[in-house]
Chain A
């Protein structure tokens, strides 16, 4: 059973730039969710992808977008980076609706300067 791998582990970007974060999916899982964890806070739901389509979104602006690929891996894209986007970005893979649980990656630490 493979885990969830996120890349890169750390990233520094300048305000206004664009960033792409990547996440593999655990074997047997077909759904990927993304969360933003600001310093000292709990993770906040960004969106979820199932069968290559977004099927749920939290309170994040459209400059946060994503993709899911046929192998169920996923990307998170953030355009026009702002200083407040600095956070740990976590992805979680699961079956649909998380019936058998969620497997989280170790996250990507994004710093916007």
Chain B
């Protein structure tokens, strides 16, 4: 079975400072991993995905994530937070040869001016 644990339910950062959102997964096989963002009253938007290519994945809006198999982690980072980054972020796992996405509980990011 696959599961995802987002280690922080809430992260607060100042504008212009780095953002780190932590995600650990458990999977019997090498899964596909995703980060999605959800702004209020909006659908889920894909930030980036890992599908067994390069372990450092670059996404949209300056976000990137590093896949570390030994640590079963897929942490999301951004060097400099912007006010528009305030949103809910979800780490998502999908096992190989499967269609079902399993979501973490989410991390709420607030950005202080």
Contact = CB atoms under 8 A, between A and B. Distances in A.
A90 B46 contact: no
Contacts of A101: 46, 49
A102 B42 contact: no
B35 interface: no
Given A41-B106, A42-B105, A98-B94, A48 B43 contact: no
Interface size band for A = 20 to 34
Contacts of A92: 44, 101
Interface residues of B, number: 21
A90 B43 CA distance: 8
A43 B106 CA distance: 9
Interface in B66-110: 90, 94, 97-106
B61 interface: no
B52 interface: no
Contacts of A4: 43
Nearest to A101: B46
Interface string A43-54: 111001000000
Contact of A106 (B4, B42, B105): B42
A56 B99 contact: yes
Contacts of B28: none
B44 A31 contact: no
A44 B43 contact: no
Contacts of B43: 4, 90, 104-107
A40 B102 CA distance: 16
A28 interface: no
Nearest to B92: A42
Given A90-B43, A90-B44, A106-B43, A42 B104 contact: yes
Interface of A: 4, 31, 33, 35, 40-45, 48, 55-56, 58, 90, 92, 96-98, 101-102, 104-107
